[in-house]
Structure 1
């Protein structure tokens, strides 16, 4: 898991760098490198934190 993904906590807003059309997502959980995010345009997605480094959205 990347250093950025390690600090993700529920409620934080993120973007998936490879899926910009998903829009902004809200982190639901981050357990064992599996990050569950609810994206505006895609819905709930479980992301492998070892494979994808999410971008934090500053609100």
Structure 2
């Protein structure tokens, strides 16, 4: 969420950039969904931020 806000993106805008539904972003940020590694990769590229631990 912090990386998204630093880029001044809404959940809907970020979802559109990574070609996912806004609901996916909302659920990840609220902790309701377990993030898919493929989606995490797209989020990292779109936000230019590291979201995973040591890899």
Between 1 and 2, higher relative CO (CA 8 Å, sep ≥ 6) is seen in 1
From the two aligned structures, give the one with the greater helix fraction: 2
Q: TM over 0.5, yes or no?
A: no
